[in-house]
Chains A and B, each alone.
Chain A
Amino acid sequence: MSLAEFLNMGGYAVYVWTSYGIAAVVLIANLVIPMQKHRLVVARLRRRFRQEQNPQ
């Protein structure tokens, strides 16, 4: 099967690739969002911790 045939998915390319594409977006987003949150929370808590240690 050639690459062109593979991408065409027997004429159903739009449906198949959109489905897999949305799945990829959803799955990647649910990994990226917690990663970003983790970074933000750590930074925020560190800042607060430092402020508590040096109250000025």
Chain B
Amino acid sequence: MFGNFFHKMASPPWFYRISGKLIPWVGAICALLLLYGLYGALVLAPADYQQGDSFRIIYIHVPAAWMSLFIYVLMAVCGVITLVWRMKMAEVVLITSAPIGAAFTFLALVTGSLWGKPMWGTWWVWDGRLTSELILLFLYLGVIALHNAIEDRQTAAKAVAILAIVGVVNVPIIHYSVEWWSTLHQGPTITKLDKPSIHIDMLIPLLVMALAFKLYYVVAMLMRARVELLERERNSKWAKEMLGEL
């Protein structure tokens, strides 16, 4: 039965139709979660006694950082599926996820910077997490650049699959190297979330925002995937029929 699901997944017209139906529903749930999360983040959560209201930035910064890592791992998994099982849909999910992952990484960096300025007085802090995030952004840009540079779509997808796998193996290595490096040089660190005792009122909006971002990713990725599928399959029968229907 699972095999049947994958068999269907591998079919572009099925994916195109299903994603078209899913997007409004997932989008609606995402919007509701976002509203609730934002209300919790901006209103319900009590102000931090040390950082005041500026800590509310973590409700964007932390979920964005989590998504940046989650999407890269997902890209690598799609990379493995692409190389081992040659599933077209895995290729499509891989390359459409890259710009979204890069956007989240950028968001994590910008909000990290905006959070750091009132705390430590400088616009950039070379601490372990932010520096790792910066390197992750370069990894994403590399994937996007490599994909754009190769003309043949199939070759580009396979090359990017290899790059994503090599990258994901390196992400923990880079992360721990940079962590070690930052403790050496005694920089200030964003350690708020290292403390085990985070108030539950502060935690819930964070988890809600994290879930909302995940659903957002699904919507954004599906939207891009549909465009990519149309372009790839433009000469196929199903695409021509679908365009006739539209």
Contacts and interface: CB of A to CB of B under 8 A. Distances in A.
Interface of A: 1, 6, 9-12, 15-16, 18-20, 22-23, 26-27, 29-31, 34-35, 37-38, 41-42, 45-46, 48-49
Interface string B8-34: 000000000000000000000000000
Contacts of B216: 27
Contacts of B165: none
B114 A10 contact: no
A49 B239 CA distance: 10
Please list the 4 inter-chain residue pairs (A to B) with the smallest Cβ-Cβ separation, ordered nearest first.
A10-B53, A34-B223, A12-B54, A9-B53
Contacts, number: 85
A4 to B, nearest CB: 13
Given A29-B103, A34-B224, A38-B226, 10 more contacts: A10-B54, A12-B52, A12-B53, A15-B54, A15-B115, A15-B117, A16-B53, A19-B110, A22-B110, A31-B220
Summarize A's interface: helix, strand, loop or mixed. Answer: helix
Contacts of B43: 1, 6
B234 interface: yes
Most buried by A among B52, B53, B240: B53
Contacts of B230: 38, 41-42, 45
A16 B243 contact: no
A27 B63 CA distance: 13
Contacts of A9: 52-54, 56
Q: How large is the interface on B (under 10, 10 to 19, 20 to 34, 35 or more residues)?
A: 35 or more
Contacts of B57: 15-16, 19
B60 A20 contact: yes
Given A10-B52, A16-B57, A22 B107 contact: yes
B75 interface: no
Contacts of A37: 224, 227
A9 B45 CA distance: 12
A42 B246 contact: yes
B227 A15 contact: no
Interface in B207-246: 216, 219-220, 223-224, 226-227, 230-231, 234, 239-240, 243-244, 246
B140 interface: no
B106 to A, nearest CB: 7
A53 to B, nearest CB: 10
B111 interface: yes
